[in-house]
Amino acid sequence: MTERKLPDYGDVAAAAERIANYAHRTPVMTSRTVNADFGAEVYFKCENFQRMGAFKFRGAMNALLQFTPEQRAAGVVAFSSGNHAQAVALAAKLLSIPATIIMPLDAPAAKVAATKGYGGRVVTYDRYTEDREQIGRELAQKEGLTLIPPYDHPQVIAGQGTAAKELIEDVGPLDALFVCLGGGGLLSGSALAARHLSPRCAIYGVEPEAGNDGQQSLRSGQIVHIETPKTIADGAQTQHLGHYTFPIIQHTVEDILTVSDDELIAAMTFFAERMKMVVEPTGCLGFAAARARKSSLRGKKVGVIISGGNVDIHRYARFLAGERES
Ligand SMILES: *Cc1c(COP(=O)(O)O)cnc(C)c1O
């Protein structure tokens, strides 16, 4: 096995400086209703207001800013049908780096259009018969492109950690921090920041109930692989944690919690109705979990990362109307 140098807090701090001129310092919001309901101080870090609508811009920008001149000239490749694709496409555009994004043939037209809108070249594959990672590696090799994965990469992890760093800088040390969990880039980066800036903070990762591979991994001590889970939290439909993200999570995270799709819709409805915010299903994971255990948070200072706000507006309207997806 190859040696992996795990990122640390110094990498998060360096990433914060590196991306400061490009990423938004997103607002931290509070709700009197939530504070009264919890009997606690709850601080929401609103990455739904980040550029391209999710925290993923932080990691992508941090990685692309470290390209050598040769890498910049050749270009970047990423595989994703979601926020990572748009993050890499936007970061590449800002740095005038050619971007190739590998997306499934049946990716939503709006996402393909958004990626192309940022100037990215879209290469499609058949998700039932082809392996996107292999396509990515082949393209990278043939054209000399640098592959930036969505979560299992030290520079991506360090970039994602800058959101929690800002949150704690803005509101001070926390007792608990709830973070949405897919492949663990956001959670491991947040944990690096929180461990350093707020050492007594209990850090929780939150997954959809249907895709609790992270919880299984933490409990069994090894990376558990699952089938693509069926959940409305499309940003957390990952099948496994990463070789960088898992060891960090293992050493820093208190527990991994799960929430149901119904709890996500209830949280999404609350954000819309009471806080006037559009939050995508995956972005609701942290708050949904905090809400379910609010009695244990009484009197505490709690951070919740809202990870993104990209959701097809018609789909969003159907969720709020109480319609379920088939
Ligand atoms: C990617 C994503 C996640 C999950 O992030 P990981 O780093 O894969 O754990 C959560 N929320 C949103 C909105 C995302 O785009």
Identify the residue with better confidence: 47 or 235.
Answer: 47
Paired tokens of 183: 């492949």
| Cα–Cα dist 163/166, whole Å | 5
Ligand 1 center–CA 179 separation, angstroms: 9
Place 31 in a pLDDT band, splitting at 50, 70 and 90: very high
187 in Cβ contact with 204 (< 8 Å):
no
How confident is the model at residue 2, as a pLDDT?
58
Q: Percent of the chain, pLDDT > 70?
A: 99
Residue with more model confidence, 291 or 105: 291
Cβ-contact 194, 173 below 8 angstroms: no
Catalytic pick among 45, 80, 81, 165: 81
Minimum mean pLDDT range among 128-137, 230-239, 311-320: 128-137
Mean pLDDT of the 75-104 span = 93
* 7-53+153-319 and 55-145 share one fold: yes
For the domain made up of 55-145, give the CATH fold. Answer: Rossmann fold (3.40.50)
283 CB near ligand 1 (under 6 Å): yes
Q: Whose CA is nearest to atom 5 of ligand 1?
A: 182
Q: Who has greater pLDDT, 80 or 182?
A: 182
Q: How confident is the model at residue 323 (pLDDT cuts 50, 70, 90)?
A: confident
Residue 127 has pLDDT above 80, yes or no: no
Q: What is the pLDDT of residue 82?
A: 86
Q: Would the pLDDT of 166 be above 90?
A: yes
Question: For position 80, what pLDDT does the model report?
Answer: 82
Active site residue 276: no
Give the C-alpha separation, 120 to 66, whole Å: 19
Domain 7-53+153-319: give its CATH code.
3.40.50.1100
Average pLDDT (149-177) is 98
Domain ranges of the chain: 7-53+153-319, 55-145
pLDDT number for residue 106: 81
Residue 242 has pLDDT above 70, yes or no: yes
Catalytic site residue 220? no
What pLDDT was estimated at residue 320?
95
Digit-coded pLDDT (tens) for 196-222: 999 999 999 999 999 999 999 999 999
Least confident stretch, 60-74, 108-122, 205-219:
108-122
Which H or E element spans position 193?
A: helix 185-197
The answer, yes or no, to whether residue 169 has pLDDT greater than 80, is yes
Overall average pLDDT of the 184-204 stretch: 98
Mean pLDDT of 218-231: 94
**Is the pLDDT score of 325 beyond 80?**
no
Q: Please compute the mean of the pLDDT values over residues 60-89 and round it to a whole number.
A: 94
Ligand 1, residues 50, 56, 58: which to mutate, most atoms within 8 A of Cβ? 56
In the set 45, 56, 111, 301, the catalytic residue is: 56
Residue nearest to atom 1 of ligand 1 (CA): 235
Residue 326 pLDDT class (50, 70, 90 cuts): low
Q: Cα separations (Å) of 88 from 39, 96, 110, 127, 282?
A: 40, 12, 16, 21, 19
Query: Which of 109-118, 229-238, 270-279, 314-323 shows the lowest per-residue confidence on average (mean pLDDT)?
Result: 109-118
Report the b/e string of 258-293 with b at 16+ CB within 10 A: bbebebbbbbbebbeeebebbbbbbbbbbbbbbbbe
